[in-house]
A and B are shown apart, each in its own frame.
Chain A
Amino acid sequence: MDMINSISLVESIGVQNWTYILVGITFTLYIGIAVWARAGSTKEFYVAGGGVSPLANGMATAADWMSAASFISMAGIISFAGYDGAVYLMGWTGGYVLLALLLAPYLRKFGKFTVPDFIGDRYYSNTARLVGVICALLVSFTYVAGQMRGVGLVFSRFLEVDINTGVVIGMLIVLFYAVLGGMKGITYTQVAQYCVLIFAFMVPAIFISIQMTGNPIPQLGFGSELVDGSGTFLLDKLDGLSTDLGFAEYTQGSKSLVDVFAITLALMVGTAGLPHVIVRFFTVKRVKDARKSAGIALLLIVILYSTAPAVAAFARTNMIETLSNKSYATVPEWFKKWETTGLITFIDKNNDGLIQYVADKNKNELVVDNDIMVLANPEIAELPNWVIALVAAGALAAALSTAAGLLLVISASVSHDLIKKIINPKISEKNELIAARFSAVVAVCVAGYFGINPPGFVAATVALAFGLAAASFFPAIILGIFYKRMNKEGAIAGMVVGIVVMLYYMLKYKLGWFDEVTPDKSEWWFGISPEGFGSVAMLLNFIVSITIMKFTPEPPIEVQEIVEQIRIPIGAGEATH
């Protein structure tokens, strides 16, 4: 007994030391880059001076985009949702096609610092600008709270500190390099963070793929035969295991067709409308570079996104085989370790000492949190300690890079769009830079507060962020570029209606604010879930915008000329005030 204890002690110290070493090295790297790339002007602070190469911008965009949710949660969600998980895969990558073809080149040509900047100038109205600022703040704050929580979670699990201490450490790091470096510092740290996170995601995936199928490429591995000599394909085996336990077939899923369609569309359009993603395309030199870096960004994102469903299928098969109908007394050590975090729970309902994992909620005895699938995967597959530690460093890189990008949007919205453009246009560049840094500090503190005291609806708010972006920014920007006749009355009315309807639907059907109990899915409009409702709200925005426009005066000639200018790629001077 003593012998076993001391062996497991040595092992657990091993993982922890590895984690300290890897997290320590990566954090030093981020801070070093931030000191090297600190911002000296507002232009460097907002758009990194506008001279970032397409490759660096592509890497930074990818890191910015892939959050704690992509890194930690997505594979787990797919693992439990099977086919339905495709809504995230297609939704969060397909949006880049819209971004590259319909938005990025034109917004780069327009050459401003922020998304509300575009809205305000294109619709020649500070009211429109203000609506843009409010949307940007709403979207970014809901998103950033989740990131800080992710940082806290990783720290607490891997370094065994309190979640709140973890959040504070994360805050300090982000504060340091976002406030000092602005967009310039963030861009180059994100390049490093992309490398860390993709390495950390791929290494365990490759190990497990080899273990289970003998194929080192996970994307091919999960369509291969198992190595156990049975000659069965992994996915067929998983379909069988799932139906045996009463779940839907893994490759079929259980959501309705219309809902899968609506969610995918909402996530795609929402992705293309997220300010922290759009603003990245203001940092490159030319229109040409904006197109190219969108392609590079998506390629780098798809490396992780195409691996995630493979990890999902491996992990699910592994989990069922390791735990289903096994005696609780003999479960592996990782099970007990994760049990203490509350992310795995087992209640022996029929007192037979075996783990019943089935679809029937009354008989099911095992509840496994989504996040475990990535975090515990290396342990489940018995991979070396350094791989387990690597996952911690990767998850932190994913969470920190996204948090930093969001904080920058928040600080630019306040210091540039609100203070410089609306409240005090005469502010000097030096004071604007101070205001930008100060708002970044405030934003970090607010984000940290939400990280420590997460509102109960954090998970719900991520879907809300996409819905809001889809319902507000996307139509306003598209119409602004592709429809010269679109005027301020139409755009403002469309954005307001889009957001209000989206908020109402979320509050009613997701959070249940207006009823005793949250109404169930039989009451959804057109059978569309709150996650997918962004597509309906977006359509509504388009309809309202165009209808109102028909009855109101057309935009001034100068504005129509701006639109013509946006459409041709030359003369995309530097970003200016």
Chain B
Amino acid sequence: MEKNNSKAYWKENIKYLFILLSVWFLVSFGAGILFKDLLNEFKFGGFKLGFWFAQQGSMYVFVILIFIYVKLMNKLDKKYGYDK
């Protein structure tokens, strides 16, 4: 029982990691590097969009990602009774 519980918890945790790290990769290596030139065709105020992702946007997303992770994990801990 205890063992199954921890296995299920771990599986959900891995799923969250996979989703969050995909976003992490997309905003930095994707938008900021690989697709930079493509995105630079668009402008965001005085910023070319690819440049903005590389020097601003990706960092903001990083911060948000960690706080989403904190929220998700706190909920997950509660669901599996690991919050005490």
List the interface of chain A (C-beta within 8 A of B): 78, 83, 85-86, 89-90, 93-94, 96-97, 100-102, 105, 219-220, 222-225, 233-236, 251, 257, 260-261, 264-265, 288, 291-292, 294-295, 298-299, 302, 305-306, 309, 564, 567-570
List the interface of chain B (C-beta within 8 A of A): 6, 9-10, 13, 17, 20-21, 24, 28-29, 32-34, 36, 40, 44-48, 51-52, 54-56, 58-60, 62-63, 65-67, 69-70, 73-74, 77, 82-84
A-B contact pairs, 20 of them (CB 8 A): A83-B36, A93-B58, A96-B62, A97-B65, A100-B70, A101-B66, A223-B47, A224-B46, A233-B45, A233-B46, A235-B46, A264-B28, A288-B83, A295-B63, A302-B60, A302-B62, A305-B59, A306-B60, A567-B6, A568-B9
Q: Say yes or no: A302-B33 contact (C-beta < 8 A), given A224-B45, A235-B46, A294-B66.
A: no
Which residues does chain B contribute within 8 Å of A105, judged by CB atoms?
73
Alpha-carbon distance A125/B38, docked complex (angstroms): 50
Interface of A is mostly: helix
Closest to A288 in B: B74
- B14 to A: closest C-beta gap in Å: 8
Alpha-carbon distance A236/B46, docked complex (angstroms): 8
B20 pairs with A309, CB closer than 8 A: no
Which residues does chain A contribute within 8 Å of B65, judged by CB atoms?
97
- A429 to B: closest C-beta gap in Å: 31
Closest to A213 in B: B46
Contacts between chains A and B (CB distance < 8 A), count: 123
B66 pairs with A302, CB closer than 8 A: no
A295 pairs with B28, CB closer than 8 A: no
B69 pairs with A100, CB closer than 8 A: yes
Which residues does chain A contribute within 8 Å of B54, judged by CB atoms?
83, 86, 89-90
A101 pairs with B69, CB closer than 8 A: yes
A570 pairs with B55, CB closer than 8 A: no
Of listed A86, A100, A291, residue having the most chain B CB within 10 A: A86
Closest to A82 in B: B51
A90 pairs with B51, CB closer than 8 A: no
Alpha-carbon distance A291/B20, docked complex (angstroms): 14
Alpha-carbon distance A302/B52, docked complex (angstroms): 14
- A85 to B: closest C-beta gap in Å: 7
Alpha-carbon distance A304/B36, docked complex (angstroms): 23
Alpha-carbon distance A225/B51, docked complex (angstroms): 17
Which residues does chain B contribute within 8 Å of A100, judged by CB atoms?
66, 69-70
Interface of B is mostly: helix
Which residues does chain B contribute within 8 Å of A298, judged by CB atoms?
62-63, 66
Of listed A78, A251, A299, residue having the most chain B CB within 10 A: A251
B63 pairs with A86, CB closer than 8 A: no
A299 pairs with B58, CB closer than 8 A: no
Alpha-carbon distance A306/B83, docked complex (angstroms): 35
Closest to B54 in A: A86
Alpha-carbon distance A236/B43, docked complex (angstroms): 11
Which residues does chain B contribute within 8 Å of A570, judged by CB atoms?
77, 82-84
Alpha-carbon distance A298/B68, docked complex (angstroms): 13
Which residues does chain A contribute within 8 Å of B59, judged by CB atoms?
89-90, 93, 302, 305-306
- B49 to A: closest C-beta gap in Å: 11
B24 pairs with A97, CB closer than 8 A: yes
Alpha-carbon distance A564/B10, docked complex (angstroms): 9
Which residues does chain A contribute within 8 Å of B45, judged by CB atoms?
220, 223-224, 233
6 further interface pairs, Cβ-Cβ under 8 Å (given A101-B20, A305-B59): A90-B32, A90-B59, A97-B62, A257-B33, A302-B63, A570-B83
Closest to A104 in B: B66
- B11 to A: closest C-beta gap in Å: 11
B24 pairs with A94, CB closer than 8 A: yes
A261 pairs with B46, CB closer than 8 A: no
B82 pairs with A569, CB closer than 8 A: yes
Q: Say yes or no: A260-B52 contact (C-beta < 8 A), given A94-B24, A94-B28, A223-B47.
A: no
Q: Say yes or no: A234-B46 contact (C-beta < 8 A), given A94-B24, A251-B40, A567-B6.
A: yes
Which residues does chain A contribute within 8 Å of B9, judged by CB atoms?
567-568
B69 pairs with A288, CB closer than 8 A: no
- A516 to B: closest C-beta gap in Å: 35
Of listed B6, B47, B58, B70, residue having the most chain A CB within 10 A: B70
A85 pairs with B21, CB closer than 8 A: no
Which residues does chain B contribute within 8 Å of A292, judged by CB atoms?
70
The one of B51, B62, B69 that contacts A251, using a Cβ cutoff of 8 Å: B51
Alpha-carbon distance A302/B40, docked complex (angstroms): 23
Which residues does chain A contribute within 8 Å of B77, judged by CB atoms?
288, 569-570
